[in-house]
Amino acid sequence: MIEARGIVQSVEGRPVLNNLSCSFQKGRMYGIIGPNGVGKSTLLHLLSGVEQPKQGEVLLNGRSIYSFPRKQLARQMAVLQQSGLPPVGFSVREVVSMGRYPFQNWLGNEEHDSETTIDEALTAMGLRELEHRKMDQLSGGERQRVALAKLMAQEPSIILLDEPTTYLDIGFQVQLLDTVRAWQRERKLTVIAVLHDLNLASLYCDELVVLHRGTVAAAGTPQAVLTSALIEQVYETVTAVIEHPLTGTPQIMLQPNSNK
């Protein structure tokens, strides 16, 4: 379990999170949602241990996340940053194999052969035909898929995703989130994803955490959280909420302002 307690944090002198508390249970997929600038990525950075809060604490299985050596933490947790991977001169396969770093000794060797793990990650993200291509020859969407394959090769029990569908068209958005969801269920992973698209968050997440004015405005299942009243309160826009015809999950329909 990951737990944030009484988090206070600022970004470039601007207060962002104010006495925020939330928790994430093993084997569930969570979506962190809320308007721009509300601190979603900041919270994710704190949960990953990359940043420390001004006040409060982040606990991993009851222990301060900042007490873990980085390599030990990386054996449990993997992070996909919003910026994705830079267009460096390594091949796709070389980048995916970097996900095995937490398990390597100082000579770069592993106790067990990891080639099968790397192959499976490449296949899952549809990258086998691109595995020898250099990263600087890929589109932004292809690099995003490589970044996720690298996470899969890392074999974590906790995955943090910061806007994972950035740069992806709707087909690859569905492919990526289908892959993450199947992977999460198969291995009982904890997945925490910052998502802008409320409909995708509703379709794929077991629970949602809504950030507003520095704290948690609501948390729970998509059915409990995604109401017209809450969306109007948090996003300051009027919507209609309907059920998805196949899944029954809430889907957001925007309403244009007829007075404009």
Q: What pTM was estimated for this model as a whole?
A: 0.88
- Rg of the chain's alpha carbons, rounded to an integer? 19
What is the band of 113 on the pLDDT scale with cuts at 50, 70, 90? low
CATH class belonging to 1-76+156-221: alpha beta
- At 64 the pLDDT is 94
* In the chain, % of residues over pLDDT 90: 58
Rounded average pLDDT over 107-112: 66
Q: What is the pLDDT of residues 137-190, one digit of tens each?
A: 888 778 888 888 999 898 899 999 998 887 778 888 888 899 889 989 988 999
Tokens of 91: 């091949």
Q: Where in the sequence of the chain do the CATH 3.40.50.300 domains occur?
A: 1-76+156-221
Q: How far apart are the C-alpha atoms of 257 and 72, rounded to whole Å? A: 52
Q: How far apart are the C-alpha atoms of 233 and 109, rounded to whole Å? A: 53
- At 82 the pLDDT is 65
Tokens of 82: 């919003």
Mean of per-residue pLDDT scores for the chain: 89
